[in-house]
Amino acid sequence: MAAPALSADATQMATYLSALTQPDTNLIRQAEVALKPILKKPECVPAMIEVVKAQTAQDEGTRHVAAIVLRKRISGHMTKFDVPTKTALKAELLSVLQTENSRPVRNGVVALVAAICKHEAEETTDAAQAAAGWPELFQFVAAAAGDAHPEARELAFLLLGEMTETVGIHLKPQFATLSSLFAAGLVDSDPKVQNSAVKALGLLMSYLADEEEIDTFAPLVQPVLTVAEACRARHDEEVVSTTLDVLYDLSFSPSPSIAAHMGTIIQFAQLCMSDSNLEMAVRDSAALVVATMAESKPKHLGRDTALLTGIVETIFNLIETSDGSAAGALFESNPAWKEDFEDQEGYEAEENGITETGMAQGTLDMLACEIPKKYIFEPVVSRCMARLGSADPNQRKAGIACLGVIAEGCAEPLRENLAQVMPHVFKTAGDSDARVRECACFALGQISEHCQPEVLSYSSQILPIVFALLDDSNIAVQATSCYVLEMFCERLEPEGVRPLLDPLVRKLAAMLEATSKRSVQEMTVAALAATAVAAEEEFAPYVVGVASLMSKLMELKDEKTYSLRGRALECMGHIAIAVGKDHFRPYFSPTMQCACEGLTYDSTDLHEFAYAAFANLAKVMGDEFAPVLAELVPHLVTVIGQEEGQFEHAEEEQGGQFSGLDDSDNEDEGGNLVMHIRTALLETKKGGITAVGEMAAHTGAAFVPYMGEVMTVLLKAADNWHPLIKTEVADAMASLVVPCVAQDHNGTLSWEKGDISGPSPLSANTTQAVNVIMKALVTMMKDDTKEVVGKACEGIQSIIELCGPHALSPVANDCLENTYALLAKEAPCQQLEAYGEEFGDEDDDHDAFMTSVCDLVGSFGRVMGPHFVQYLPKFLPAICAYAKSSRPPSDRSMAIGCLGELAQELGSGIADHWTTVFYPAAIAGLADSDDSVKRNSAFCIGVSCEGLGESITSQYAEMLQALSPLFGVDISEGDTAAACVDNASAAVARMITSSPAHVPMAQVLPVMLKALPLKNDMTENETVYNCLFGLLQQNQPDLAANKLELSRVFGEAASEASKVDDELKEKLKLALQSLN
C-alpha cells in the first residue's frame, strides 16, 4: 500500500526543510527567511510531523531536520493547542518512535519528545501533576525497557537521557523504580543497550551529584564502571569518556555513599591513564578524576595507603616510559620553547595540548598540594630515592622529576629533609644522561623556589653546579639552568652570590649574545635579573653592560619577540631594585619610554610587563616618579575599570546552523549571547592594580590628587568575581593611606598604644581614607578565597600599625569577630574544607594565609594594648589549637610566635593566662623537634619574663633548663638553626635583665657568651648587648671572670663585617676599650 501523499502545507514545508540540508549558504538563508513566518503559525506543527513520518517520500536528512526545527518551535505552540490536539500530537510522536527505522530521525524525535515533556512538566506548579503530565510517555519508556528487541530497550534509555532535567526535578518519587530500570539496562545482553543506559544514568547522576537523592543511584556506580571497563577493553572511547565525565562530577559529591566507591573509581581512572590505546584527551580526563578526588576527598584518599601508593606508582611509570622531557612542565605555556625544541631529541609532541608526561606530572602536583603531607610525602620521596639509584636513566629521570613536581605541595616536609635530599639532586645534576640533568635542573629550580629560606644554606654547592650546567652541551639543560638561577637568586643575600658574581654575569651575558633560541634568551634575561636582585648594590659595576644588552632587546618589534622584549624591560626593573635610585637614574627615562611604548602595542603581555616596570620603578625612584603620575594614573584607572567579560554569540549546538529558526521573540537580533571571559585582561588588570598600589606607596603627597578616582575603581574591583583581582586589590588598598600621611603628617604618625580616649592624631582627609579602606578590607576578610583574606589581614595590619588605634576603633568589633572566626576555622573561606569528609583537623596541613591572621592578632596587641586583654579568653584557645603536637611544624611555630608577640605587647596583661597557656605552650615548644618552634618558644619565654617580672621568678630554673639544649643546636644546619640559638641567648638576656638574682650567672654566662655574637636574628642585638653592658657597669663578678670571652664577643660584634647597626657598634667599641 502506497504511503499517503503529503498535504500542501507539508509539501511546502518539505521543500524549505530540504533546502536547509544543502551545502549552499545562500539557499539555506533563503529557506530560513521563507520559514520564519510559517513557523510562527501553529499549523506548522502537523505539517512538520507529516514530513518526519514520510519515510518513503522524503530523504532521511530532510526528516531529521524537520524533527530538529520542530523541537526548536514546539514550546511556543503547545500552549495554543487544546487538550485533545495535544493528546493526539503526543500519541502520534510515540507512534513514530515505535516505527522509525532511521537512527538520526529517531534521535531527533527523542529530543522533540523530551522537549514536550519538559514543557508539560513546567506548565504546572503542582509537583505531583507535573510528574503525571504525560503518563503515556513513562508507560512507553517502561514497556520499551522491557521489550525483547534491543533497539526498543536502547530507545528507552535514549529518552531518559534526553529528559534528564525533567526526570531530576519532577520524577523524584519514581527514583527507586528508575534505579531498578537502569540496573537492568547496565547488565543487558546487548552492548548498545548497556552503553545507552550508562549515558542516560550518567547524565542523571551528574545532575543529582550534590543532591541527597544521589544515594538512590550510588549502588549503580560499580555496574557503570563494569560497563565502562568492558568498553575500554574493546576501545569504545565514547562510553569511557562519558563515564569519566560523570565520575568527575561525582568526585565533588558530599554523599558518603558515593565516597564509598572512591577506590574503584580511582582504580578505573588509573587504568585509563595508563592505556596508550586511548586518546590523550580521554586519558587526561581520567587524570582529572584522580586529581579531583584528591582535591575533594584528600583525607579519605590519604588514609587509603594501598590506593594512594597505587596512583603514585602509576604516575612514576608513566613518566618513566614516556619519551618526553619531564622538565617540560616549565615551558608548556611558552610558545618560544615549543618552537625552539620541537626538533630536539626527547621532545614529546602534544596531542590537543596534552602530553603523557604533562598529564602525569599535573596529577602528581595536585596530589602533593591537596593530600595531607603526612600521607603523600613518604610514598613519593621513597620512590624518588629508589629510582635515583637505578642504572636505568628513565627511572632516574622519573625520580628526580617527581621530586621537583612535589616541591610546591610538599614544601614543608621537603624543607625539613633537605639534608637527605640535596645530595641526590646534586648527583643527578652531573648525570651522563641529558634528560636526567635537565630534570635535575627542574628539581633544583622548584626546590629553590619553594624551599626558602632553608635552601639558601646550599648556595656554595648549588651555584657552582648551575654555573657548570650553563655550559652543558644540551640546550634544554642550559635553559633550565637559567630557571634555577632565577628561582635561587631571588632571595639570596649578596654574600651568597658574591663568589661567583663576576663569572656568572659574564657567562649569562655571553649566552644571551650567542644563542638564537628565544626561549634560552628569555630565561637568560630572567636569570640576569635575579642575579642583580641577589647582588644588590654589588651589581652596580655591571649595570652599564647589562643595560646595553637590554636596550637592544627592548627595541624588538616583531610580535614573536614581545615576550623577550618584556623580559628585558622586567630585567631593568629588577636592576633598579638592586642598585637603587642613584645608580639607576641614567636608565630611568629610557626604561619608562620602552614601557610606555609597549602600551601602544596590541599585546597584553607587553602591557603586563609595562605595569610591572612601573611598579618597580615607582618603588625605587620615589618622588622622582611623581611627574609621570598625571599620564599613567588615568590610564591605569581605565585598565582596572575595564570589564574582563564580554558578550559573544553562543556556540551552536547540533542543528545550530538553523539558530535563526529558534522559538524566540528576538529572532532578528542576532541569536543567543553568552558571556566570555578574557583571561589575559585579568592578568593585565592585576598588573595595573599592583602598579597603582606601588605608586601610592612611594610617590608621597604627589599621589593625593588621584586618590578619589583610584579609590573608586579599587572599591569596585574589590567586588570582582575573580580571586586574582580581589587579592591584588586587598594588597594595594593599604597603600592608599600613605599619600595622606605624607601630605598631612609629614610621612609619620605618632600614636599611643590603646589610647582612643584622647583626640585622634589623624587629619580629616586621612580619617576619611582610613575609614573607607578599613571598611572594605574588613569586608574582604569574609571572602571565600583564602588568598584574598590573607591579603586583607595584611592590609589591616599595615594600616593600624601606621595610624594607630583610632584607625581600628570604628571597625574593631567586626574586625575582631572576623579574626576569631578565622582562627576557629568558621570563616567562609574555610567552609568547604571538610566537604564530604568526616575527619577532624589532625590531618590538616599548614595554611599559609593563617600566618597573616596570626600576625594581625599580634598587631591587635601592639595597637590596642590593654584593651585586647579582655579578648584573650576567647582568642587563646583558638590560637593554641594550632600548637598541638599533631599539627605541622609551621602551625606550631605560627601559634607560639603569636603567643610571643602577645606576651611582648601586653606585658603583665597575660598574667592570668601565664600558668595555663603561655608557660606550658612555651616549655613544650622548647622541646619541639622543629628549630622554628624552638626559636619562637625561646622568644616567648624571654618577653614573658620581661613583662611579668618578679611574679614568675620561681619558674626561672625550669625555664633555664628547658632553654639549655637550644645552645647545642648545630648552627651550620641553616638560618633557622642559627636563629634558634640567637633567640635562646636573647631569652636568657631578658631573664637576667628582669631578675638577675634568680639567674645562676656562673653557669649561664659562659654558655651564653660562647653562642655570641648573634648569627642570624639581628633584631635581638640590642637586647643581648644592653644586658651585657648593664652587667659590665655593675662589675658583675661572673662576667668579669669571663673577660677574655666577652672581649672576643664585643670585638667580633663591632667589626666591619658585623651586621650590628652602627650606633650599637660604637657602644661596643667603647665597652671593649674599658675591658682592655
CA 193 – CA 186 distance, rounded (Å): 8
The pLDDT of residue 975 is 84
Cα distance between residue 409 and residue 416, in whole Å = 14
Enter the pTM of the model: 0.79
Grid coordinates in use for 1046?
A: 666577652
Q: What is the pLDDT of residues 628-648, one digit of tens each?
A: 999 999 999 999 998 876 555
Per the listing, cell 595597637 goes with 863
pLDDT given at position 452 = 85
- What confidence score (pLDDT) does residue 654 get? 41
- The pLDDT, as a whole number, for residue 655 is 41
pLDDT of residue 667: 42
For position 180, what pLDDT does the model report? Answer: 93
* Those residues with Cβ within 8 angstroms of residue 601's Cβ, 6 or more apart along the chain or in another chain: 562
Listing DSSP states for 934-1000 in one string gives: HHHHHHHHHHHHHHHGGGGGGGHHHHHHHHGGGGGS-GGG-HHHHHHHHHHHHHHHHHHHH-GGGS-
What's the pLDDT at 334?
56
Q: Annotate 854-865 with b (16+ C-beta within 10 A) or e (fewer).
A: bbbbbbbbbbbb
Instruction: Check residue 401 and give its pLDDT.
Output: 93
Taken in order 684, 685, 689, 690, is the CA torsion positive or negative? Answer: negative
Q: How far apart are CA 424 and CA 307, in angstroms?
A: 28
Burial tier of 10 (Cβ tally within 10 Å: 0-12, 13-18, 19+):
buried
Give the pLDDT confidence score for residue 586 in this predicted structure: 96
| Model confidence pLDDT, tens digit, residues 70-79 | 998 888 888 8
* CA 697 – CA 689 distance, rounded (Å): 12
d(CA 712, CA 654): 45
Residue 648 sits at φ, ψ, to 5 deg, of -135, 160
Give the separation between CA 144 and CA 407, rounded to whole angstroms.
56
Quick one: pLDDT at residue 457?
A: 84
| 120 CB neighbour count, 10 Å cutoff | 21
Q: Residue 918, Cα to own-chain centre: how many angstroms?
A: 35
- The neighbour count for residue 569, using CB atoms within 10 Å, is 25
Per the structure block, which three cell numbers stand in for 434? 641529558
Rounded distance between C-alpha atoms, residue 327 and residue 344, angstroms: 14
What cell does 652 get?
Answer: 551552536
At 187, the amino acid letter reads V
Among 800, 834, 806, 838, residue whose Cα is nearest residue 819: 800
Element (H, E) at 283: helix 280-296
What gap in Å lies between CA 891 and CA 844, rounded to an integer?
10
How many Å apart are CA 675 and CA 25, to the nearest integer? Answer: 27
Q: Are 102 and 58 in contact (CB under 8 A)?
A: no
Provide the 8-state DSSP code for 647.
E
C-alpha cell at 221: 556506580
Q: Is the peptide bond before 453 cis (omega within 30 degrees of 0)?
A: yes
148: left (phi over 0), alpha (psi -120 to 50) or beta: alpha
Overall size of the chain counted in residues = 1076
Calpha distance 852→145 (Å, rounded):
60
pLDDT-flagged residues of the chain (< 70): 1-4, 124-133, 324-353, 645-678, 832-846
